[in-house]
Amino acid sequence: MNTAAPSSAPAIELRDVSRIYGSHPAISEVSLSMEEARITGLLGPNGAGKTTLLRMIAGLIDPSSGTVLIHGRRQSILNRALRHEVGLVSLDCPFYDELTVREVLTLQAILMGLPADVRVARLADAGGNEAIAGMLDRRMDELSTGMTQRVRIARAMLHQPRVLLLDEPTSGLDPEVRRSIWQDLRALAKRGVCILMTTHNLQEAADLCTTIHVLHRGRLVRSHEPNSEGMSTAQLESTYFSIVEPA
């Protein structure tokens, strides 16, 4: 994880953030904050604005209005220094299929500007993960969907960011692989990483996330803390569909 000194500010803070494409408001006046060492879930139907919100937090696009802060510092596409604070796992970040896993991780380390000795150490750390170690010298086009997703997460964490953003990280995975990735995410949270993930899996949200935010038509419409509220998956499902389905 990034060795920068801890901040008293939230890991992620959004202040009245909006993003407009033409005349369409993808995100409208969203305000929320997320702390370190917690897993936050972002729920909502397709088109609710979840991916747009992640892209603004990652600094890939700027809000049309409002402010995104990472540990108290303003995020923007021009703030290159904050890129080391954030890791992003998204299907929009493709691989070169002909590269091996080792080459993919090495390329990521170079792109992140890690010195040669740090690159060697980080690759050794990645290789210390049993799930990654067995496929370091396999080509990306030889890997299963679950293996590929593990490489995405390892790549996003290679520069040891304090914030990890995941866009539907377990979509299409079998239950065994999904639960194994849950364990990995819980371990990262215990190390102090702030994790924000989008998901359509309500059981995943209820079981894994400390806090759940529901987006609908670009607006934050409900927030829950399922563990403290004793909320079951069935209760979350009932609440969710009462929000997103037309009356």
**pLDDT tens readout for residues 118-177:** 999 998 888 788 889 889 999 999 999 999 999 999 999 999 999 999 999 999 999 999
- Angle, to 10 degrees, between the axis of helix 101-111 and the axis of helix 145-156? 30
Percent of the chain's residues with pLDDT above 70: 96
Query: Which domains does the chain show, CATH number per domain?
Result: 12-244 (3.40.50.300)
Q: What is the arithmetic mean of pLDDT over 206-230? A: 93
CA separation, residue 172 to residues 35, 149, 178, 233 (Å): 28, 10, 9, 19
Q: What is the arithmetic mean of pLDDT over 63-76? A: 97
Whole-model pTM? 0.93
pLDDT at 243: 87
First CA to last CA across the chain, in angstroms?
46
**pLDDT tens readout for residues 172-217:** 999 999 999 999 999 999 999 999 999 999 999 999 999 999 999 9
